[in-house]
Amino acid sequence: MITIGVLGLQGAVDEHMIQIRSVGEHAVLVKKPEQLGDIDGLIIPGGESTTMGKLMDHYGFMDSITAFYEQKKPIFGTCAGMVLVAKELVSLEAPHLGLMDISVKRNGFGRQRESFEAPLLVKGMEDPFKGIFIRAPLAVRVGKNVEVLARYDENIVAARQEHVLVSAFHPELAGDNRFMQHFIDMVKNPVY
C-alpha cells in the first residue's frame, strides 16, 4: 500500500481522500510541509488558486513542494491545482510553483454560472470520463514534453509531464476512480 497526501489548505480535500481509499491506498491530509517526507504522491486539489497560493506561501509549502517534485515524487493537480503547477499563467500574475511546462488560463470556460459537465475521451481509457468543470482553467499551450490526455472542444483539459498529472475538471466528483487509478499507477510504476 502506498500513501497519497492531499494538500489540506482549501478545496475538495475530503472527496480526494475518499477516492484514494476507494482504490485501496492510504490517504493522508497534508497540513504541514514536513508531512511531505512521509508520502509517495501528492494531490493539489481544486479550490481558489490565488487563495491557495497565498496559503501555500504563508505555511511554507512552496519550497517543500518544489523539493518533493525534484525528488521525482508524483503530483496530481486538479482544477486550481492545475493552475498552481503551471509554469505560465495567461494573466499578469506570476506562476505559483512552475513545475509543468504548460500555460494555463484561469476560469478558461467562464465563471461559476458557466460550470458544466461533459463526457471526455481520455487517452488510455476505453469509455468516456465524466468531466465536471467548475470555474475550470484550461491549458492554452503545452511544452514538447507534455502529453495531452484529454480535450474539450479542442481545449486541453488533462495532461501529463513525467511525474506531474493535471486535470482542469474535478475527477474526484465524477463517481469514477479511473483518473485516481492513473495517478496511483504513476506513483507505483514511474516511467521517467
Per-residue pLDDT reduced to its tens digit, 89-138? 997 678 889 999 999 998 776 666 668 899 999 999 999 999 999 988 99
Active-site annotation holds for 170: yes
Cβ atoms of residues 31 and 192 within 8 Å: no
Among the listed residues 15, 25, 79, 96, the single catalytic one is 79
Whole-number Cα distances in Å, 25 to 60, 73, 96, 105, 148: 27, 16, 29, 32, 26
Per-residue pLDDT reduced to its tens digit, 47-74? 888 899 999 999 999 999 999 999 999 9
Where do the structural domains in the chain lie, given as residue ranges? 3-188
Residue carrying the nine cell digits 463517481: 175
Among the listed residues 16, 96, 170, 182, the single catalytic one is 170
Lowest mean pLDDT: which of 31-40, 106-115, 135-144, 162-171? 106-115
Cβ atoms of residues 75 and 39 within 8 Å: no
Model confidence, pTM = 0.95
Whole-number Cα distances in Å, 98 to 21, 85, 139: 29, 5, 14
Active-site annotation holds for 26: no
Among the listed residues 15, 25, 162, 172, the single catalytic one is 172
Mean per-residue pLDDT, 73-92: 93
Active-site annotation holds for 93: no
Alpha helices in 46-172 (DSSP H): 49-58, 61-70, 80-85
Please check whether the domain covering 3-188 is classified as CATH 3.40.640.10: no
